[in-house]
Amino acid sequence: MRILVVEDERKVAELVARGLKAARYAVDIAPDGQAGWAMVNTYPYDLVILDLSLPGMGGLELLRRVRRRDAQVPVLILTAKDATASKVENFEAGADDYLTKPFAFAELEVRVKSLLRRGPVSQGGTVRVADLEIDRLTQQVRRSGRRVDLTPKEYGLLEYLATQPGRVLSRTMIVEHVWDESFEGLTNIVDVYVRHLREKIDAASPVKLIHTVRGVGYSLSEDSAT
Amino acid sequence: MTVRSIRFRLTAWYAGLFTVVAVALGALLFVHIKSYLEGTLLETQARRARQICDTLVANLGRTGEAYVAREVAALYDPEKSDRFIRITAHDGRLVYLSGPPFSQAFDPAAVPAAPAGAPAAFTRRERVAGEPALLIAAARAGAGGTSYLVEVGTSAAPVESMFRHLLLLLGLGLPLVAVLAASGGYLLIRRTLRPVDQIASKAEQITQHNLSERLPVPKTGDELESLSVALNRMITRLDDAFLNSKRFVADASHELRTPLTVLRGELESLVQEPGISAAHRERVGALLEEVERLSMIVERLFALSRLDAGEAQSEWVRFDLAELAATTAGQMALLAEDRRIAVTCEAATPVPVDGDRSRLKQVVVNLLDNAIKYTPEGGAVRMRVFGGQGLAVLEVIDTGVGIPSEDLPRIFQRFFRVSQSRAQYPEGAGLGLAIVESICNANRGEVEVESAVGKGSCFRVKLPLAA
């Protein structure tokens, strides 16, 4: 899988490229719109990550050109602007997804993965992490075969953590996925719910699944070293 | 109209000055005419007295006293012409005394004698009780070794009655003049000052949210026109300054995002590196927490600058405020439960509101979060939603620590924090309530607060009720 990162801020570009390379993607960096356009025309990319505010040719103009040439390649917009009006404009110009700075790298990785897979992660099926079983159809949760009763919010939180096992998810990401944008900045609500979830999932078991990574967030995995 | 208003003061001055001038003029006229008329009358009497002296008394030695008395009665006929004539010899003997006049204005017999030692010619006023004054001129003449005093007088009644009329006229006319002056002055001043009222009422309406509006400029060419033009120029400068500071906040928060992204990304990858020691992971984690807080402040500033720019109307829908409050309370119940705080929501009937639902939800979230945060464990937070009189009202009432009254006026200002809360909750930035106010204003509403230290606070959001 080959990804093009069009970003004029060298440090941001390097950060994104380094992380994606670590996740075993091939990554190219274009520092401006002209270079980005030249590279899109040279290599067949599976995904383009595009910063909107670029010197010379703007991100939006590049996006339009890419869309005229190739309607298929997914484009993820990186931007510092998140006004609703520009959001609508971006999607109209053909963006597939959208991330505002400052973003957590884990969030970027989730988006990239989902865009490359094309379409959302399947809604059905059973998710298993160690002896934790989540039936996504009936929304039933079992730990060591014992049924655990969760409130809808607790279930949402557990499902979000369990579908990205081993990945540290920031509280902001959790708030955005499980609650909604109105709760932005109210990350202490995540701590409270995680504590309740721990009592129900982990308290009775010697193997703890929910881990806290200070300053970053929470993860769910068998491996306690995360 | 207050006593200190220019309209009142100018009118009072105008009317007062006018009255004083009119009174002074009247008094001057009165005194002057009176002395002139009396002087003229006395002069006539004096001339007549002199005449009697020269023509009759001077020859008295030849003609005899009886002749003189007869001649005076025949020539001057004092009774018919309302005149008083008395001729007295040096030794006080009466030579002639006119009879009572037809008009009965005075009684000649009651007129007191001239004072002794008076000069050769003099005038005087005699007033017999209950009668008009008598103006008397006297002249002396000698004949046959005896000196005679001739007194000629006339009643001042016509003059006095004329002055009574004049006084009456002035007494009635002056208040009328004063009233006319006051009302005329008032109308004139009111017309002149009407633009001032218009300018003042418009100036009251202009706040930082509608600085693009201007004051009306009266096309009068006078000082008021130049005043309103000058004020408008000042509003333009204020508008520019506000725009600059808003743009600065928007630009600054925008520019801070890229370095924050780098900072956050690098620290995140560092904290998850396999080789890092637990102690270092803890320290990087602490740094990440600060980065997160910084990001949150930047986000909120950016949200505020977007609200300032009026972007809130983009997602305008009709929704039930009561339902929104109840749902949000439910979503936050665990947060309250965790601190053993009971959250109740009283919303009996649907309260329809037009607005940006997700932003108004943020208002409820922020207010509830504050209420829960500042209420001690075991306390209660009550939310009430009701509609009436064209208003949709949402109240968040807590039994918390309360806000000192000196801090209440500044509670919605950006970055303002009650000093006690700064120590207790260092993670906040003092932007939550500023956002609440901005969102309320952007949705054509307002937010107000009542609070008592130690008892709790009540935040009240008022929005227009949808028809």
Query: How far apart are the CA of B335 and the nearest CA of chain A, in angstroms?
Result: 6
pLDDT at A120 over 50: no
Name which residue leads in pLDDT, B419 or A137. Answer: A137
Q: Same structural domain for residues B91 and B152?
A: yes
Spatial separation of the C-alpha atoms in residues B197 and B189, rounded to whole Å: 12
Average pLDDT, chain B: 86
Q: Same structural domain for residues A109 and A23?
A: yes
User: Between A and B, how many CB-CB pairs are < 8 A?
Assistant: 121
Q: Same structural domain for residues A140 and A106?
A: no
Q: What is the mean pLDDT of residues B193-215?
A: 85
Domain presence at residue A209? yes
Instruction: Count, in order, helices (H) and strands (E) of chain A.
Output: 8, 12
- Structure confidence by residue, pLDDT tens digits, B132-179: 778 888 888 877 777 888 888 888 888 888 888 888 988 888 888 888
Task: Tell me if the pTM is above 0.80.
Answer: no
pLDDT at A118 over 70: no
Domain presence at residue A226? no
Query: How far apart are the CA of B191 and the nearest CA of chain A, in angstroms?
Result: 50
Q: Same structural domain for residues A105 and A13?
A: yes
Domain span including residue B73:
6-161
CA distances from A155 to A134, A148, A198, A200, B8 (A): 9, 10, 12, 11, 74
List all residues 6 or more positions away from B147 whose beta carbon is below 8 Å from its beta carbon: B89, B90, B140, B141
Q: Same structural domain for residues A94 and A144?
A: no
Q: Note the ipTM here.
A: 0.76
What CATH number does residue B376 fall under?
A: 3.30.565.10
pLDDT at residue A226, as a whole number: 45
pLDDT at A170 over 90: no
Last residue of a domain, one of A117, A145, A171: A117
User: Residues of A with CB below 8 A from B265's CB?
Assistant: 12, 15-16, 19, 104-105
Spatial separation of the C-alpha atoms in residues A69 and A66, rounded to whole Å: 5
Specify which residues A75 forms β-bridges with.
A48
pLDDT at residue B169, as a whole number: 87
What CATH number does residue A172 fall under?
A: 1.10.10.10
CB of B81 within 8 Å of a chain A CB? The answer is: no
Q: What is the mean pLDDT of residues A188-203?
A: 90
Q: Same structural domain for residues A17 and A39?
A: yes
Tally the residues of chain A. Answer: 226
DSSP assigned state of B400? S
- Structure confidence by residue, pLDDT tens digits, B72-121: 888 888 888 888 888 888 888 888 888 888 878 788 888 888 777 777 77
Q: Is B439 left (phi over 0), alpha (psi -120 to 50) or beta?
A: alpha
If you average pLDDT over each of A37-41, A98-102, A172-176, B181-185, which comes out highest? A37-41
User: If pLDDT is split at 50, 70 and 90, which confidence band does A224 have?
Assistant: low
Last residue of a domain, one of A117, A148, A163: A117
Which of B253, B261, B263, B443 to mutate: most A Cβ within 10 Å? B261
- Asked if B315's CB is within 8 angstroms of A84's CB, the reply is yes
User: Phi and psi at residue A30, in whole multiples of 5°?
Assistant: -120, 125
Pair of tokens at residue B383:
């939310």
Q: Same structural domain for residues B269 and B341?
A: no
Spatial separation of the C-alpha atoms in residues B388 and A199, rounded to whole Å: 45
Spatial separation of the C-alpha atoms in residues A171 and A168, rounded to whole Å: 10
User: Residues of B with CB below 8 A from A186's CB?
Assistant: 365, 369
User: Residues of A with CB below 8 A from B291's CB?
Assistant: 102, 215
Minimal-distance CA residue of chain A relative to B429: A185
pLDDT at residue A119, as a whole number: 46
User: Residues of B with CB below 8 A from A84's CB?
Assistant: 311, 314-315
Which of A87, A107, A212, A216 to mutate: most B Cβ within 10 Å? A216
| Number of structural domains chain B divides into | 3
Last residue of a domain, one of B161, B177, B193: B161
pLDDT at residue B396, as a whole number: 95
Query: How far apart are the CA of B456 and the nearest CA of chain A, in angstroms?
Result: 22
Domain presence at residue B190? no
User: Residues of B with CB below 8 A from A11's CB?
Assistant: 262
Q: Where are the beta strands (DSSP E) in chain A?
A: 2-6, 26-30, 47-51, 75-79, 97-100, 126-129, 132-135, 140-143, 146-148, 169-170, 210-213, 217-220
User: Residues of B with CB below 8 A from A15's CB?
Assistant: 261-262, 265-266, 269
Residues A106, A173: contact at Cβ < 8 Å? Answer: yes
